[in-house]
Amino acid sequence: MSAPAKTVETVKIKVNGKELDAPKDQPVLQTCLDNGIYIPHYCYHPALSISGNCRMCLCTASNAPKAVISCATFPAEGAEYTTESEEVKKLREIILEFLLINHPLDCPVCDQAGECDLQEFSFRFGKDDSRFEEEKNYRHTKKLGTNVRLYGNRCIVCTRCVRFCEEIAGDAELCVRERGDSNIIDTFPGIPLENPISGCVADICPVGALFVDDFVHKTRVFFLESTTSVCNMCATGCSINVDTWQGEVQRLRPRHNPDVNDYWMCDRGRVGYKYSGAAERLSRYEVGPARAGSSAGDGKAKAGPTDPPRSTRAPSDFGKALAAVSDRAERVRREHGPGAFAFVASAWMSVEEMFLFRRLATTLAGAVPGEAGPATGILAVADGEAWTPRVGGAFKIDSDRNPNRKGAEMLLLGSFISEPFSVLLDRLESGAIKFAWVVGGIPDFSPMDRFRDALGAISNVVVTDILPGPLSERATILLPAASFVEKDGVFVNGRGWAQRCRAALPPPGETRTELDLFQELLRRAGERERVLSAQGVYAELAAEVGAFADTSYKTLGALGARVTDDEPAEREPTGREAAKR
Amino acid sequence: MSRELSPEAQKEFDWLVTRYPQREAAMLPTLRLIEREFGCIDPEGMKLCAQLIGCSPAKVFGVVTFYTHYKRETDGENVVYVCGTLPCALRGSDALADYLCDRVGIGLGETTEDRKITIKKVECLALCDQAPVCQVEDVDWLRVSKEKADEMLESLGIPKRETAGAAAGGEEKRS
């Protein structure tokens, strides 16, 4: 849990004979967890209000006649708490026996098996048998909303999901209905669970009752390999785990990062990996002849601009494609000078890629004093109104859909891009541009007509992209790119937090990452001795770009660091945090 | 079509909420008010309550389904509540419920076709010393034997069976 910066009032308590300074307004359970004393618990969640219904965290206290639930017990000066004794052990066994009374024990077909707290605690703290011989009851299995499925039988009614919907998502669509052993999580008839972060209820469900529909019966969780990374679906940049199995992403899960996303992520981000596994992914290097007839000065004269040009590209490989890029760039530079180049970066590139692309642009286009430099621009998805869903609670989803616009502003604006996009468009249409390199990497990108049509009339168009689309259709040289689950790099979110994205999978087919691609081209041009890892490139970048100075992959760590003071430092408080202030 | 309280009921509600520290705390009496106004608590009624109180309909739904004594739109004219909590269960409330259902010809929680009778199993009716207990509208039926059950059904218009013996003793208590 993130410790508030202001001084925390503490009291002295003893837990299992060990003396601890316990923050006064923090439950004993959390203090124990923070100090490495594990107490099993289901209903307690650090981001949610205290419910105290599962009884799993019972411990004994010197100032109470009976065992107390440590999640709802606040420390008293000098009190002694015991979490490891025969009595507590017995209590835990009894509680677990109760919790399992109506549980179907269908672990072999349950997707939670392997990361289930019922399994875990039964193994560590439970009994090996149950005295319950009666018939178990049946509770409904249903879809609570588009993304979430409920297996009522497995539910232990800890109400984490109910509290989440009320306190974090803010719409309070869930309730516990009925009473006693027919208790069941449900929605109001006709008002399904449709808030934009509904999938989080599956993350916080300690048992196998709630699942994100996308992950039902997909993989056994114990086979998953987890990679810490950062979500690429908007400028919030939620910390995530990318879980893979057999070369495929199986799911994305939010990772606790108190400064960025707390414990949550949105539903759109949660399935934001889908395009990376799409069958139509670009995975082959293709080189075609330079487009003829591009000498026409007036771009508007082109007929049928919306028809994609027929591809004349032939399959190639990494080496040949790079050679083609170098050769064509060389020819254009000799014949037309640096003013005939256009470089268009993307707000979906990592900062390392932007850094290299910037350098590559200078290398390929060269520079002639007194003459115009290459046209430059940056591709980004416009802020969509549809993409600013109302979340009643405090969790905010950035309206900016570009994961690294902030990084692009820091690395490219001013130093590399000095003209507005309209100037780039004018120059692309002027007929003077003979070599354009466009980096896409935006999964559902539809460029504006002017840009698309202008590309179709330029003799050499190098496109680096992930999926086929209007950009790749207009490429004369096509370079497949890696998606965010396949590359290392740093992304700066809308509030200036730099976080590391890590490769969880290799890129598809022969694809090499842009990091390799750009460095290899620079190496061939004699600008670079070696092709470095993302970490090495970042070190170069940090040495050169002021805002990133004194940071490295090591200092960024798993949670990232703030690299700009432009934006408010503090995340908006959510749930219990908000209530506390 | 959203439902509205009559001006008098609205006035009562306005007074009601002033008696609680938080609006949400006035949920139970508000539900009673809606039940009285509209004859039962149906989803529209729950929505109205949520709107008046200022919470989500789901929350009201949870509360309404927790309590057994709110009249629901699916309930018949008379609801027979059979207590199913421990003391009554030990004294045979399961068999009693089965018997009642059998006599009326419906399942537990169901309503007769003429919408006269609903049989529900409920949690403790707070008369554990008189188990097993039933309640029909506001009348408590104590130590309910088969004979007593027949008597109770008779009061609901279901004639005794020919084979049924003389009714056993046991007092009836009005609450």
Query: Which residue in B56, B65, B66 is closest to A173 by CB distance?
Result: B56
Per-residue model confidence (pLDDT) at position A297: 41
A509: left (phi over 0), alpha (psi -120 to 50) or beta: left
SS3 at position B131: coil
**Residue ranges in B41-133 assigned as alpha helix (H):** 43-53, 57-66, 86-90, 93-104
Query: Which residue in B47, B56, B61 is closest to A177 by CB distance?
Result: B61
By C-alpha distance, which of A243, A245, A234 is closest to A267?
A: A234
The residues with which A177 forms a beta bridge, in sequence order, are: A184
Per-residue model confidence (pLDDT) at position A525: 92
What confidence tier does A575 reach under pLDDT thresholds 50, 70, 90?
low
What confidence tier does A229 reach under pLDDT thresholds 50, 70, 90?
very high
Per-residue model confidence (pLDDT) at position A303: 43
For the segment A356-361, the average pLDDT, to the nearest whole number, is 94
What confidence tier does A394 reach under pLDDT thresholds 50, 70, 90?
low
The domain locations on chain A are: 10-98, 107-277, 322-562
Contact B61 A166 (CB under 8 A): no
Per-residue model confidence (pLDDT) at position A85: 94
Query: What residues of A are in the B interface, CB distance below 8 Å?
Result: 166, 171-180, 186-191
Give tens-digit pLDDT for A176-214. 999 888 899 999 999 999 988 999 999 999 999 999 999
Cα B85 to Cα A179, A399, B72, B81, B92, distances in angstroms: 12, 53, 21, 12, 11
For the segment A454-478, the average pLDDT, to the nearest whole number, is 93
Please check whether the domain covering A107-277 is classified as CATH 3.40.640.10: no
Residue A86: Cβ-neighbour burial (10 angstroms; 0-12, 13-18, 19+): exposed
* Shortest distance, CA A191 to any CA of chain B (angstroms): 8
The whole-angstrom distance between residue A460's C-alpha and the CA centroid of its chain comes to: 35
For the segment A349-376, the average pLDDT, to the nearest whole number, is 89
**What is the C-alpha separation between A410 and A267, in angstroms, rounded?**
29
Residue A123 and residue A114 in contact, taking contact as beta carbons nearer than 8 Å: no
The residues with which A212 forms a beta bridge, in sequence order, are: A148
Q: Which residue of B has its CA nearest to A193?
A: B58
Give tens-digit pLDDT for A12-64. 999 999 999 999 999 999 999 999 999 999 999 999 999 999 999 999 999 99
**What is the C-alpha separation between A481 and A441, in angstroms, rounded?**
7
* Shortest distance, CA B58 to any CA of chain A (angstroms): 5
Per-residue model confidence (pLDDT) at position B173: 47
Q: Which residue of B has its CA nearest to A392?
A: B56
3.50.50.60, 3.40.50.2000, 3.40.50.740, 3.40.50.2300: which CATH number matches A322-562? 3.40.50.740
Contact B68 A179 (CB under 8 A): yes
Per-residue model confidence (pLDDT) at position A386: 44
- Give yes or no on whether A10-98 and A107-277 have one common fold: no
- pLDDT < 50 stretches in chain B: 164-175
- Token pair, residue A168, equals 């974090």
**What is the C-alpha separation between A166 and A241, in angstroms, rounded?**
25
- Token pair, residue B39, equals 């004859």
Contact B62 A175 (CB under 8 A): yes
What confidence tier does A255 reach under pLDDT thresholds 50, 70, 90?
very high
> Can you name the CATH fold of B78-174?
Glutaredoxin (3.40.30)
Contact A189 B55 (CB under 8 A): no
What confidence tier does A414 reach under pLDDT thresholds 50, 70, 90?
confident
Give tens-digit pLDDT for B4-28. 999 999 999 999 999 999 999 999 9
What confidence tier does A364 reach under pLDDT thresholds 50, 70, 90?
very high
Give tens-digit pLDDT for A276-325. 999 999 999 999 998 875 444 444 444 444 555 667 899 999 999 999 99
Query: Which residue in A166, A172, A178 is closest to B66 by CB distance?
Result: A178
Residue spans of beta strands (DSSP E) within A144-199: 148-151, 174-177, 184-187
What confidence tier does A6 reach under pLDDT thresholds 50, 70, 90?
low
Per-residue model confidence (pLDDT) at position B163: 55
CATH class name, domain A10-98: alpha beta
Contact B66 A190 (CB under 8 A): no
**What is the C-alpha separation between A353 and A356, in angstroms, rounded?**
5
Per-residue model confidence (pLDDT) at position A395: 75
Query: Which residue in A177, A187, A190 is closest to B65 by CB distance?
Result: A177
Contact B62 A177 (CB under 8 A): yes
Per-residue model confidence (pLDDT) at position A381: 83
Residues of chain B with Cβ-Cβ distance to A188 below 8 Å are: 43, 46-47, 56-58, 60-61
**What is the C-alpha separation between A92 and A117, in angstroms, rounded?**
13
Contact B66 A179 (CB under 8 A): yes
String of DSSP letters for A315-347:
E--HHHHHHHHHHHHHHHHHHH-GGGEEEEEET
Give tens-digit pLDDT for A544-560. 998 999 999 999 999 99
The residues with which A151 forms a beta bridge, in sequence order, are: A141
Query: Which residue in A174, A178, A180 is closest to B58 by CB distance?
Result: A174
Residues of chain A with Cβ-Cβ distance to B43 below 8 Å are: 188-190
**What is the C-alpha separation between A496 and A224, in angstroms, rounded?**
31
Query: Which residue in A171, A178, A187 is closest to B65 by CB distance?
Result: A178
Q: Is the pLDDT of residue A533 over 50?
A: yes
Residues of chain A with Cβ-Cβ distance to B59 below 8 Å are: 166, 172, 175
Average pLDDT over chain A reads 89
For the segment A465-488, the average pLDDT, to the nearest whole number, is 94
Per-residue model confidence (pLDDT) at position A298: 42
Query: What residues of B are in the A interface, CB distance below 8 Å?
Result: 43, 46-47, 55-62, 65-68, 123
Residue A147 and residue A214 in contact, taking contact as beta carbons nearer than 8 Å: yes
CB pairs under 8 A between A and B: 46
1.10.10.1590, 1.10.10.10, 1.10.579.10, 3.30.160.270: which CATH number matches B7-66? 1.10.10.1590
Residues of chain B with Cβ-Cβ distance to A171 below 8 Å are: 56
The domain locations on chain B are: 7-66, 78-174
Per-residue model confidence (pLDDT) at position A186: 96
Residues of chain A with Cβ-Cβ distance to B47 below 8 Å are: 188
Per-residue model confidence (pLDDT) at position A572: 60
